[in-house]
Amino acid sequence: MSPGIPFQVDSRSPTPIYDQIVTLVTFAVAAGRLARGEALPSVRQLAVSLRVNPNTVARAYRELERDGIVETRQGSGTFVAGGDRRLSAAGRRKALAPSVDRLCAEASALGISPDDLADLVREAAGKLSSGDRA
């Protein structure tokens, strides 16, 4: 997972941290950036790297397992599960829609035009994808 997902988490967000982790992993699998059978970082590793309580990571992994996204093999670690969870380009756009809508509502309230907002987003996303972090 290290060389893939810009894995960062916002502890001040109202979205629970474990939920942010679930979303990011789910999305990474949907995008094929985490391949079938690939190992996820250990609970402790990821907890350290995200500066988060290990319980929180453990809970995220538990939910991912419940969703069939990952599998835990006792004593060996957590791995991306077997079934194909990749989404088409359209499916991935659809998965992102609620977040997009929420941002647009805020931008609209702030009086930021669609074009200006698109520019802001392109710029921020560009910065992210150059300087990734696991």
Partner DNA sequence: GTGGTCTAGACCACC
Partner DNA sequence: GTGGTCTAGACCACG
- How far apart, in whole angstroms, are the C-alpha atoms of residue 131 and residue 9? 15
Structure-token pair, residue 78: 């957590």
Binding mask 6-45 for a second copy (x = CB under 8 A): x-x-x--xxxx--x---xxx-xx-xxxx------------
The rounded distance, in Å, linking the Cα atoms of 38 and 72 is: 12
> Least distance to DNA from the beta carbon of 45, Å?
5
Binding mask 78-117 for a second copy (x = CB under 8 A): --------------xx-xxxxxxxxxxxxxxxxxxxxxxx
* Under 8 Å between Cβ of 7 and 57: no
Alpha-carbon distance of 38 to 11, in angstroms, equals 27
Q: Which stretch binds DNA (CB under 7 A): 24-32, 67-75, 80-88, 115-123?
A: 67-75
**Residue type present at position 61:** Y
How many residues are listed for the chain in this entry?
A: 134
Decide whether 48 or 125 has the Cβ nearer to a second copy. Answer: 125
Q: Are 73 and 82 in contact (CB under 8 A)?
A: no
The residues that touch a second copy, with contacts defined as CB under 8 A, are: 5-6, 8, 10, 13-16, 19, 23-25, 27-28, 30-33, 66, 92-93, 95-126, 128-129, 132
The residues that touch DNA, with contacts defined as CB under 7 A, are: 11, 14, 16-19, 40, 42-45, 52-56, 58-59, 61-62, 65, 72, 74-78
